[in-house]
Amino acid sequence: MRYQPVSSFGETNLLPTRSFMILILSFIITTNFNHGVLGNPYSLKALPLNGHFSFDEIHQAARDFGNRYQFLPSAVLHPKSVSDIATTIKHIWQMGPGSELTVAARGHGHSLQGQAQAHRGVVINLESFRGLEMQVHTGKHPYVDVSGGELWINVLHESLKYGLAPKSWTDYLHLTVGGTLSNAGISGQAFLHGPQISNVHQLEVVTGKGEVVNCSERQNADLFHGVLGGLGQFGIITRARISLEPAPKMVKWIRVLYSDFYAFARDQEHLISAENTFEYIEGFVIINRTGLLNNWRSSFNPQDPVQASGFESDGRTLFCLELAKHFNPDNTDIIDKEIEKLLSQLSYISSTLFQSKVSYVEFLDRVHVSEVKLRSKGLWDVPHPWLNLLVPRSTIHDFAEEVFGNILTDTSNGPILIYPVNKSKWDNRTSVILPDEDIFYLVAFLSSAIPSSSGTDGLEHILTQNKRILDFCEATNLGVKQYLPHYRTQKEWRAHFGLRWELFAQRKSAFDPLAILAPGQRIFQKAISVS
């Protein structure tokens, strides 16, 4: 089948004749759809599946972690095999451009702005898909084969049975493998191992034509690199082969504070470039927080309790450096000396050194502890107007001076992460768009809004703050790129991708020519035949 190539949101350069034809065809198609002739979602009922469709219990598929957008699908697929996913997509593909049906893959529902939703389309619930049991392969180059719908926390527990673990993580582990690989997957290990998409050997993908394709660097490489960080535009990840390494048993977890951003950034950049360094390096911005160090005492021990008790955080802008060093019980003394040497090279406030020894699992799953507390208070299922930015090293000081000095007055709405990563650890053949410098910073504003509030903790206030930050970055040409990007027009998406836009569009035409997949990203709209 051949159809007109996909079109993009915001396209304005259509010829008058073509525009007229599309309007006429759109009227015919919409009329037929409404009369149940073309694109009828109930035709899905006849498909031979191992799983099943739900046409009534669909409201959960219209919600996500962002809690800001709700678009109801026509159906939710609960697949039990890869063929269920392929059969569904192929059926919609064969309907052609006369059908309005689109498809979105939903993992753990952690999208922020409706990216995993499909208005009047089909949402595929990947968490019900257990088409492949996890298989850990030991040896010189260990790896694990996992389903795209598997949670990273489960991957951790299964690989630990063999004394192994993935190299790169996200801060929150209750996310699906396919979900994070469709974005990048970043945490404090990224400076050392790269993001999660840099630690994948092979993928199984269902394309927008319903084809099941195995891909890697050596096989179907264009699809492989396109899908990694591809925002779900080229295929649904149904299986992934993840690189593993020997896992430690324990972690030395350290926090220190800085009052000077220059010293904070200098020390972070020193640590990510050092040969023998920590395995995890992140940073936080803390503005006008009362009793900060006292709050740390529930999980950490101060190096100097007396000095720590006298430290005042009220009314101050502080920068927290968070570090982790892996160890096993039999080499504790060696690791302690390495840590002491590394810390001696840093310029933090001496009275703010806090340390803790925890298990490897406890450290990696640390955010889940906060989730449990927030759920118990009814503060988890609230709007999350997050903003994630990648800021070049050369402009991070200008960014920090304006954002942390003028735009933000406190950090009570949620944590603000800030830490550098090495671009050399990223594969430039993937679809992720990065700043054009060797070192750049992830700056993540992880805000939670209180429903119905009109104050500084309300959604509108936080969104206004986010817009001020974005406007400043654009006005001053800081070279910032969004991570987990969200745009509304083609002009914005083209600006985001820059010179990479043509390649991205070519891959879309090759692997999802009708723009069936991931409509919630708002990059492409479903194609309409004009022939």
Identify the pLDDT of residue 131: 52
Segment among 285-294, 314-323, 497-506 with least mean pLDDT: 285-294
Identify the pLDDT of residue 295: 84
Model confidence at 28: pLDDT above 60: no
**DSSP annotation of 477:** T
Q: What confidence tens digit (pLDDT) does each residue in 430-443 have? A: 999 999 999 999 99
Regarding predicted confidence, which is higher, 99 or 290? 99
Model confidence at 26: pLDDT above 60: no
Model confidence at 156: pLDDT above 60: yes
Regarding predicted confidence, which is higher, 491 or 199? 199
The helix (run of H) or strand (run of E) holding residue 86 is helix 82-95
Nearest Cα to Cα of residue 321 among 418, 397, 443, 252: 418
pLDDT-derived band at 248 (thresholds 50, 70, 90) equals very high
Q: Phi and psi at residue 15, in whole multiples of 5°? A: -65, 150
Mean pLDDT of the chain: 91
The distance of Cα 162 from the centroid of its chain, to the nearest Å, equals 28
pLDDT-derived band at 368 (thresholds 50, 70, 90) equals very high
Section 454-469 average pLDDT: 96
Section 124-131 average pLDDT: 82
Identify the pLDDT of residue 132: 66
Q: Which residues contact 17 (CB under 8 A, 6 or more apart)?
A: none
Catalytic status, residue 474: no
Identify the pLDDT of residue 529: 54
Which residue among 78, 108, 110, 486 is the active-site one? Answer: 110
Q: Which two tokens stand for residue 259?
A: 């009052």
Model confidence at 33: pLDDT above 50: no
Identify the pLDDT of residue 135: 95
| CA–CA dist 290, 280 (Å, integer) | 27
Which residue among 100, 150, 269, 282 is the active-site one? Answer: 282
Return the beta strands (E) in 396-438 as ranges. 416-422
User: Under a CB-based contact definition with an 8 Å cutoff, are residues 277 and 189 in contact?
Assistant: no
Which residue among 127, 145, 171, 338 is the active-site one? Answer: 171
**What angle, 0 to 180 degrees and rounded to 10, lies between the N-to-C axes of helices 490-497 and 501-511?**
110
Segment among 33-47, 171-185, 234-248, 409-423 with least mean pLDDT: 33-47
pTM, two decimal places? 0.91
Identify the pLDDT of residue 18: 39
Identify the pLDDT of residue 305: 87
User: Under a CB-based contact definition with an 8 Å cutoff, are residues 7 and 525 in contact?
Assistant: yes
Helix (H, G, I), strand (E, B) or coil at 60: helix
Catalytic status, residue 368: no
Catalytic status, residue 110: yes
Q: What confidence tens digit (pLDDT) does each residue in 41-90 have? A: 889 999 999 999 999 999 999 999 999 999 999 999 999 999 999 999 99
User: Under a CB-based contact definition with an 8 Å cutoff, are residues 313 and 293 in contact?
Assistant: yes
Q: What amino acid is encoded at 350 in this protein?
A: S
| CA–CA dist 271, 254 (Å, integer) | 14
User: Under a CB-based contact definition with an 8 Å cutoff, are residues 204 and 237 in contact?
Assistant: yes
Identify the pLDDT of residue 436: 96
| CA–CA dist 308, 287 (Å, integer) | 18
Model confidence at 197: pLDDT above 80: yes
Q: What confidence tens digit (pLDDT) does each residue in 204-231 have? A: 999 999 999 999 999 999 999 999 999 9
Other C-beta atoms lying within 10 Å of the C-beta of residue 312? 10
Model confidence at 38: pLDDT above 90: no
Q: Which residues contact 4 (CB under 8 A, 6 or more apart)?
A: 97, 527, 528, 529, 530, 531
Q: Which two tokens stand for residue 456?
A: 């500084």
Helix (H, G, I), strand (E, B) or coil at 450: coil
Identify the pLDDT of residue 527: 66
Section 354-376 average pLDDT: 95
Nearest Cα to Cα of residue 205 among 181, 222, 184, 223: 223
Residues in the chain: 531
Q: Which two tokens stand for residue 421?
A: 């990563």
pLDDT-derived band at 19 (thresholds 50, 70, 90) equals very low
* Cα dist from 297 to 275, 302, 335, 388, 475, whole Å: 31, 7, 23, 29, 42
**DSSP annotation of 436:** S
Helix (H, G, I), strand (E, B) or coil at 454: coil
